Chain A
Amino acid sequence: MRWIWIDKFTEFNSGKSAIAIKNVTLAEEHLHDHFPGFPVMPETLMIEAMAQTAGILVGEAKSFKEKVILAKIKKAVFFDYVKPGDTIRLETQIESITPEAAGTAGKITCGEKLIAEIDLMFSHIDQNLAGKKFPEENFVFTGTFESLLRDVLISANSSSKAGLGQDG
């Protein structure tokens, strides 16, 4: 995961749930085109933010040993716009996790407002049923996202940090 689309985690319960936040700013160039005169965060990028939040939660559950890939968007329903200046809160929990995959349920809020409900499925691709092989190195979890966990690591268990790979 080299492209970071969330700002930091504010809560992290290993193997269970996590909360991350993202600040939305007009400095994000795509907002100028989406849409001219009416900048709103694209819904696809809300899914990306949730995929990163939930993906890291799922990855940490197996000490970042597995390559965690977004495999399916089970549900994505949007209720309101996100505008520049907003801080969105991404809340997610693991609903099921097995050796080969995990399912998460999540919601995005902005203040008191419900913005979206996004449920995802992730695959641990080294455990895929077709027996396909992938490169040894964990190209999903590199050190680049370590800063996201800076606030929660101080109090959380040390295993979160120990599993992180080197910056690729």
Chain B
Amino acid sequence: MAMNQEQIFNEVQEVLVDALGVDNDEVTANSTLTGDLGAESIDFLDIVFRLEKAFGIKIPREELFPAESLMNNPEFISKGKFTEKGLAELRTKIPHTDISKFQNNPDVNKLGDLFTVGAIVKYVETKLNAA
């Protein structure tokens, strides 16, 4: 399927508007899902289901929004912050996400800020190109 980034963004925007009950103009590439758009844990699954349907792709558990496997590993997290090893793991696990700012203060509670609209668009793009 040949879709450019703008088309993917528009589709992702529609998914998020429907899933989170937000307005079109609230969904920008930099908006964070939890902070700006008010997503809760069940919404992440809803978004995954809707993306799969909208783009005809399969999104394996933990691939788009990994958290569980990282959070429960003491090697990756120490005193509420990601360790060097944890950050390295993040980079390989979510290559679609820019963690350059996050690594300055890798507070676990700020992990949600990594999940932006732009990251979803990038993820979908990679997925579509691989198909």
Contact = CB atoms under 8 A, between A and B. Distances in A.
A159 interface: no
Given A96-B49, A129-B67, A71 B61 contact: no
A71 B72 CA distance: 24
A34 interface: no
Interface in B25-57: 41-43, 45-46, 49, 52-53
Q: Is the interface of B mostly helix, strand, loop or mixed?
A: helix
Contacts of A128: 41
Interface residues of A, number: 16
Interface residues of B, number: 14
A130 B72 CA distance: 10
A85 interface: no
B6 interface: no
B63 interface: no
A101 B45 contact: yes
Contacts of B46: 72, 74, 103, 121
Given A72-B43, A129-B68, 18 more contacts: A71-B42, A72-B46, A74-B18, A95-B53, A96-B53, A98-B45, A100-B45, A100-B61, A103-B46, A103-B49, A121-B45, A121-B49, A123-B45, A128-B41, A129-B41, A129-B67, A131-B68, A131-B72
Interface of B: 18-19, 41-43, 45-46, 49, 52-53, 61, 67-68, 72
